[in-house]
Amino acid sequence: MKEDWILVRFGELTIKGRNRGRFEDMLVRQVKQALAAYPALKYTKTFGRLYIQLNGEPYEPAAERLKDVFGIVSFSRVIRCGHDLQDIRETALQAIRQVEPAPKTFKMTVRRAWKAYPHDSQEMNHLVGAHVLRNTPDLKVDVRNPDTELKVDIQPEGTYVYASVEQAAGGFPLGMNGKAMLLLSGGIDSPVAGWMAMRKGLEIEAVHFHSYPFTSEQAKEKVVTLAQRLAYYGGSIKLHLVPFTELQTKLAQTGQEHLIITLMRRSMLKIAEKLAAKRGALAIVTGDSLGQVASQTLGSMNVIGRDTSLPLLRPLVMMDKLEIIRIAEKLRTYETSILPYEDCCTLFVPKSPATNPNLGIVLKIESQLGAELERLVDEAVNGTETVVLTENSRSDAPAAAEDKWF
């Protein structure tokens, strides 16, 4: 009897030591969550692999969902059959006929994990490969650069046959490396930075600064849409909406126009650090890319980054804009990010922002603001509203009082 299965290969977590089993269990739970819409699926975990029996469920939509599960490096649609040689031969023929477009060359690879099987791997290469060649006249063997590699994996419980491999997101299972706060603007970069942080196993909570009424409702909606897109990859995401108007206005009144962006960014980190302490996060993620704007020169990043004791993670720092845009398009955040709605960072923008701010002067200005600055930071933290977003729902906030935005 032939059965449709999916063979899932784990990514970087397979290099882990004694925690490997726990991380694999975490990934299996996330796979089941991602495929919850297909209840008939059955799961079997082995060392370093996961087998999913389709059991009548459709392959294509399940495969599309698997591609975005962090921790999976690749997967294949496999046909499971018995140990009978002729059965294996016919299954191999079936597998290669399913490949689209039809390959012109192939390589046969048999793995005999079940050592009691009467033919060794080399014999099976010839026995199965020859059968495929005889019944596929246009197909040739190319062991160096084949169009398709036809694989047969003989295990004690049955034989798995497949002829294609689909790439997935890779990385680590979500949450495996702890939690971080993502500074989420309405731009192109920060959603990409968030996705890259999640791909490395970080659970993220997003922090957005708004300057209502100077910024519009459309600007808020834009950020919510971006956060919902990130929620697709994580199941859900918390979005912290920070009122920034009063603090931003106070900084603008210092008369240090060329330093306003530096002062704003440092204040954002102060607030994000306090929110991180409340939420148990151990790092802050930003969408900074070296040299992109005045606040992202090396001098600016040095002065801005000194205002937090948490690790400041900048996944995009060495990427150029076109690379970032390509990822944003793939994530389907790009079209939302380029909508022309202002955010707090577009307010009070000086004509000549400092690209190499003096740390001593910045500290002197903040010192002159003294307790007033601390008060405004605390008020912004205390006034923060939090919503829980999923891909398809506006808010799943556990406490209705938290959800004043919708």
The per-residue pLDDT for 347 is 64
> Cα-atom radius of gyration of the chain, to the nearest Å?
27
Q: Is 229 assigned a ligand-binding role in the annotation?
A: no
Could you give the CA distance from residue 152 to residue 404 in angstroms, rounded to a whole number?
57
Q: What whole-number distance in Å separates Cα of residue 34 and Cα of residue 314? A: 28
Residue 209 annotated as lining a ligand binding site? yes
- pLDDT for 345 equals 63
Q: Is 296 annotated as a binding residue?
A: yes
- pTM equals 0.89
| 208 burial type by CB count under 10 A (0-12 exposed, 13-18 middle, 19+ buried) | buried
Kindly report the number of other CB atoms within 10 A of residue 330's CB atom: 11
253-285 burial, b at 16+ Cβ within 10 Å, e below that, comes to eeebeebbbbbbbbbbbbbbbbbbeebebebbb
Q: C-alpha 112: how far from its chain's center?
A: 35
* 152's tokens: 């047969």
Residue 153's pLDDT is what?
A: 95
Q: What is the pLDDT of residue 52?
A: 97
- Domain 3-167 and domain 179-390, same fold? Reply is no
Pick from 86, 328, 52: which is nearest to 193 by CA? Answer: 328
Inter-residue long-range contacts of 379-385, CB under 8 Å, 24+ positions, other chains counted: 379/243, 379/246, 379/247, 380/242, 380/243, 380/244, 380/246, 380/247, 380/271, 381/242, 381/271, 381/274, 381/275, 381/278, 383/242, 383/243, 384/240, 384/241, 384/242, 384/243, 384/271, 384/275, 385/240, 385/241
* Residue 346: per-residue pLDDT: 66
Q: Which tens digits make up the pLDDT trace of 222-281?
A: 999 999 999 999 889 999 999 999 999 999 899 888 999 999 999 999 999 999 999 999
Average confidence (pLDDT) over 111-131: 95
Q: What is the pLDDT of residue 311?
A: 97
pLDDT for position 398: 39
Three-state secondary-structure class, residue 212: coil
Distance CA 33, CA 230 (A): 16
Structure tokens at 64: 């599309």
CB 41 within 8 Å of CB 56? no
- Residue environment code for 48-86, b if the CB has 16+ CB neighbours within 10 A, otherwise e: ebbbbbbeebeeeebeebbeebbbbbbbbbbbbbebebe
- At the top level of CATH, the class of 179-390 is alpha beta
From CA 202, how far away is CA 195, in angstroms rounded?
9
Work out the percent of the chain whose per-residue pLDDT is above 90.
Answer: 79
119 assigned binding-site residue? no
For the chain, give every domain's residue range: 3-167, 179-390
pLDDT digits (tens, 9 = 90+) for 350-381: 778 888 999 999 999 999 998 999 999 999 99
The annotation status of 23 as a binding-site residue, yes or no, is no
CATH of 3-167, one of 3.40.50.1980, 3.30.2230.10, 3.30.2130.30, 3.30.70.100: 3.30.2130.30
pLDDT tens track for 13-39: 777 777 888 889 999 999 999 999 999
Is 47 among the annotated ligand-binding positions?
Answer: no
Cα–Cα distances (Å) from 214 to 33, 262, 343, 353, 387, in that order, read 40, 20, 9, 21, 22
**Per-residue pLDDT tens over the stretch 43-79:** 999 877 899 999 999 999 999 999 999 999 999 999 9
Determine the Cα–Cα distance for residues 352 and 180; give it in Å rounded to an integer.
Answer: 32
Helix axes 260-279, 359-382, angle to 10 degrees: 50
Check if the beta carbon of residue 72 is closer than 8 Å to that of residue 152: no
pLDDT on residue 78: 96
298 in a known ligand binding site: no
